[in-house]
Amino acid sequence: MLSLLIFLPLLGSLVVALLPQKQTAWFRWIALVVTLADVVLAGLVCARFISAESGYQLLEQADWITLPLGRLGVASIDYLVGVDGISLPLVGLSAVVMLVGVVSSWHNTDRNRAYFALYLLLTGTVMGCFLALDFFLFFLFFEFMLLPMYFLIGLWGGPRREYASIKFFLYTLFGSLLILLVMIGLYLSVIDPVSTAVMAGFATEPGAVTPDMIRLVQQHLQAGQLDPAQLVHTFDMRYLADGRNYLSHAFLNPATEPMVLGLPARMLAFWVIFIGFAIKLPIVPLHTWLPDAHVEAPTAISVVLAGVLLKIGGYGFLRIVWNFFPDGAAQYAPVLGALGVLSIVYGGLNALAQMDLKKMIAYSSVSHMGFVLLGMASLTAEGINGAVYQMVSHGLLSAMLFLLTGVLYDRTHDRRIDSYRGLMTPMPQFTILTAIAFFGSLGLPGFSGFVGELFTLMGSFESGWLPGWLTAVGTLGILLAAAYFLWTLQRMFFGPAWIRPIWTRHDTTISLTDLTRREKLLLIPLAISTLVLGLFPNLIFDLTGATVGQWLERFRV
């Protein structure tokens, strides 16, 4: 079932790419059917998921690459996918947002075969990132995701699309190279205790390996009593997270502390891989690619970028950075929390200063992702659960905000806030849904945005790792969000109705129509979702609770 979530979109992409150009009507329908099937599959995965269990579920594993290297041991890479309480909510979010993006792209007529082929390729790689439990497999999907996004922005974007797409690609590629460096270091430092037990003769096959055999292999490993040729190196995330699987002389062994540039090697590796994922989230000051990418990307791609792709950075923090380097996350928690607060305040101040509606929403995303980092830095159950919830909530709300911006831009080809007044009169349905998205994003009680921010702040206040004043400063983000969203609502929707697009020299009358059936089909379910999650947050917390509880055991003081 998990493999279908990944490979069904990839197969759909191949089919679209191979169809003759004259079959134009088929391209969007294939994309719609495939993304709708992913939503159904994600629902089935949720139905089969046992929320009381804290481990990985629905695992699928197959040998992929096994290469004997003599005295260097054995190189092993597996196709390994699975879900737990951290990844499952993001898989569901991805399925919904990718479907929304297809419907939003329905009237695209510009090279639509290439567009939908790339879009489905992006869908499959995004799903792969959230489901992969082999670091090499994760990196493959993470890196391959750059290709469709580069073309989707660079070919179908706005006037400065080439600049925005190259900037996005270079920033993210730089982050990927940092992740690659640490991935190689971890691979050389860690062994697969199950496969090593078979190679060392403790068992005849992996299924016969018992927990006692694994402990024996780990003891021999730390004592240096295993033949190097019998060591099976691995990218399996389950083993990378366990310090007992590290070679005694390994560069990144938690028990040894070789120094590099005045820092312990593990702490240096922590910061290197943190920066790699911080670019993707993004965290100030590594955020500058995001406003440009959002402004120039077509509406559907802005929806996917804000709704899903930014969440891969936050997911990478939990699944990889915090999971493999808990010592670094604990030691530098105050610095990480400070970076989160910096993003909250800086993003909010920049959003307040914007006149372009898309750019304002982009900076608001920087601010809201700051809450995610603050919650993760707290290393508390409230903070981590709140961070995952905030990612889901922001995914829905940001998708809704960019769709609303696209509705207005389709009619007037102008995104400037000061070009509009009194939109409530000609577009009452649009106004109501915009108000819901704004109030949800600024954290009004009853909406999902309130729950996410509340729990990240609660976790931060309760944390023994973070100073209380840091959280107090972070609450300014809520005030700033209220300022820029309410100020925008007042300027654009209240008062006498008039429109002055930037491309005109004087006031002009443009006939504005309210939401079409397709636009309501996109926006109303998102509005209902943010209300339902705000009133029933346990829909997410029931999935994340057990996993987060087990995950936090390594941080107990």
Is residue 292 a part of any domain in this protein?
no
Is residue 300 a part of any domain in this protein?
no
Rounded to an integer, the average pLDDT of 521-534 is 94
Residues 180, 110 share a domain: yes
Residues 187, 83 share a domain: yes
557: pLDDT strictly greater than 50: no
The string of pLDDT tens digits covering residues 145-191 is 999 999 999 999 888 899 999 999 999 999 999 999 999 999 988 98
Is residue 534 a part of any domain in this protein?
yes
Rounded to an integer, the average pLDDT of 369-381 is 94
Domain interval for residue 129: 1-191+231-279
User: How confident is the model at residue 232, as a pLDDT?
Assistant: 87
User: How confident is the model at residue 556, as a pLDDT?
Assistant: 64
Distance CA 532, CA 440 (A): 11
Rounded to an integer, the average pLDDT of 101-107 is 91
Contact 83, 131 (CB under 8 A): yes
The string of pLDDT tens digits covering residues 272-311 is 999 999 999 889 999 999 999 988 999 999 999 999 999 9
507: pLDDT strictly greater than 70: no
Could you tell me how far CA 176 lies from the centroid of its own chain? Answer: 15
The string of pLDDT tens digits covering residues 331-363 is 999 999 999 999 999 999 999 999 999 999 999
Is residue 293 a part of any domain in this protein?
no
User: How confident is the model at residue 391, as a pLDDT?
Assistant: 96
Q: How buried is 261 (Cβ within 10 angstroms: 0-12 exposed, 13-18 middle, 19+ buried)? A: exposed
The string of pLDDT tens digits covering residues 191-243 is 888 888 888 888 888 888 888 888 888 888 887 888 888 888 899 999 999 88
Tokens, residue 50: 């046992």
The string of pLDDT tens digits covering residues 440-476 is 999 999 999 999 999 999 999 988 888 989 999 999 9
Residues 352, 269 share a domain: no
Is residue 83 a part of any domain in this protein?
yes
Q: Convert 414-443 to b/e letters by CB count within 10 Å (16 or more is b).
A: bbebebbbbbbebbeebbbbbbbbbbbbbb
Is residue 218 a part of any domain in this protein?
no
Residues 385, 243 share a domain: no
Task: Tell me what percent of the residues of the chain surpass a pLDDT of 70.
Answer: 97
Residues 273, 338 share a domain: no
Distance CA 175, CA 191 (A): 26
Supply the pTM of this predicted model.
0.93
Which is nearest to 365 in space by CA: 304, 322, 428?
A: 304
Residues 358, 473 share a domain: yes
Residues 467, 339 share a domain: yes
Distance CA 253, CA 244 (A): 9
Task: Tell me what percent of the residues of the chain surpass a pLDDT of 90.
Answer: 66
Q: How buried is 550 (Cβ within 10 angstroms: 0-12 exposed, 13-18 middle, 19+ buried)? A: middle
| 3-state SS, residue 372 | helix
Residues 480, 346 share a domain: yes
Is residue 213 a part of any domain in this protein?
no
Which is nearest to 151 in space by CA: 136, 164, 135, 134?
A: 164
Residues 504, 356 share a domain: yes
269: pLDDT strictly greater than 70: yes
Contact 9, 121 (CB under 8 A): yes
The string of pLDDT tens digits covering residues 57-98 is 999 999 888 888 777 778 888 999 999 999 999 999 999 999
Domain boundary among 218, 251, 279: 279
Q: How many domains does the chain have?
A: 2
List of residues 6+ apart from 93 with CB closer than 8 A: 307, 308, 311, 391, 392, 395, 396
Q: How buried is 70 (Cβ within 10 angstroms: 0-12 exposed, 13-18 middle, 19+ buried)? A: exposed
264: pLDDT strictly greater than 90: no
Residues 263, 360 share a domain: no
Is residue 201 a part of any domain in this protein?
no
Among 25-39, 62-76, 381-395, 531-545, the least confident range: 62-76
493: pLDDT strictly greater than 60: yes
- 255 pLDDT band, cuts 50/70/90, is confident
Who has greater pLDDT, 497 or 127? Answer: 127
Residues 348, 240 share a domain: no
User: How confident is the model at residue 505, as a pLDDT?
Assistant: 47
Tokens 């079932």 found at:
1
Distance CA 441, CA 549 (A): 28
Tokens, residue 98: 């990718």
Contact 99, 38 (CB under 8 A): yes
Q: What is the dihedral of CA 37, 42, 47, 53, to 10 degrees?
A: 160
What mean pLDDT, rounded, does the chain reach? 90
| Three-point CA angle 381, 450, 540, nearest 5° | 50
Residues 367, 272 share a domain: no
413: pLDDT strictly greater than 90: no
Phi-psi region of 56 (alpha: psi -120 to 50; beta: other; left: phi over 0): beta
